[in-house]
Amino acid sequence: MKSAKKFKLSNMSDTNLLLTITIVVFFLMYIGAMLFQGKGFLKAQTFFNILNANAALIITACGMSLVMITGGIDISVGGVAALVSMCCAVYLDYHGGNVFGAVLIALGIGLAFGIVQGLLVAYLDIQPFIVSLAGMFFARGMTTIVNTAPFNVANEAFIAVKETRVTVPGFGSYNKLGKYVPAYVEIGVIVALLVVILLFCMLRYMKVGRNFYAVGGNSQSALMLGINVRRTRFLSHLICSLLAGVGGFVYFMHVGSGSASHAMGMEMNAIASSIIGGTMLTGGVGNIIGTFFGVLSLSTIQNIVSSAGLDQAWWTGITIAAMLCIFLVVQSVVMARKKKALG
| Residues within the interface to another protein (CB under 8 A) | 73, 120, 124-127, 129-131, 133-138, 140-142, 144-145, 148, 260, 265, 268, 271, 281, 312-318, 320-322, 324-325, 328-329, 332-333
Nearer residue to another protein within complex by CB, 170 or 309: 309
Nearer residue to another protein within complex by CB, 148 or 164: 148
Nearer residue to another protein within complex by CB, 250 or 275: 275
Nearer residue to another protein within complex by CB, 196 or 270: 270
Residues 6+ apart with CB under 8 A from 206: none
Residues 6+ apart with CB under 8 A from 329: none
- Produce one character per residue of 68-105: b if its CB has 16 or more CB atoms within 10 Å, e if not: bbbbbbbbbbbbbbbbbbbbbbbbbbeeebebeebbeb
Least separation in angstroms between CB 273 and another protein: 13
Least separation in angstroms between CB 125 and another protein: 6
Helices and strands in the chain, H and E counts: 14, 4
Nearer residue to another protein within complex by CB, 49 or 331: 331
User: Closest Cα partner for 131 from 142, 121, 143?
Assistant: 121
Least separation in angstroms between CB 311 and another protein: 12
Cα separation, 162 vs 97, in Å, equals 15
Nearer residue to another protein within complex by CB, 142 or 190: 142
Least separation in angstroms between CB 144 and another protein: 4
Least separation in angstroms between CB 315 and another protein: 7
Phi/psi at 257 (nearest 5 deg)?
A: -150, 165
Cα–Cα distances (Å) from 34 to 38, 41, 161, 302, 304, in that order, read: 5, 5, 33, 14, 10
Least separation in angstroms between CB 325 and another protein: 5
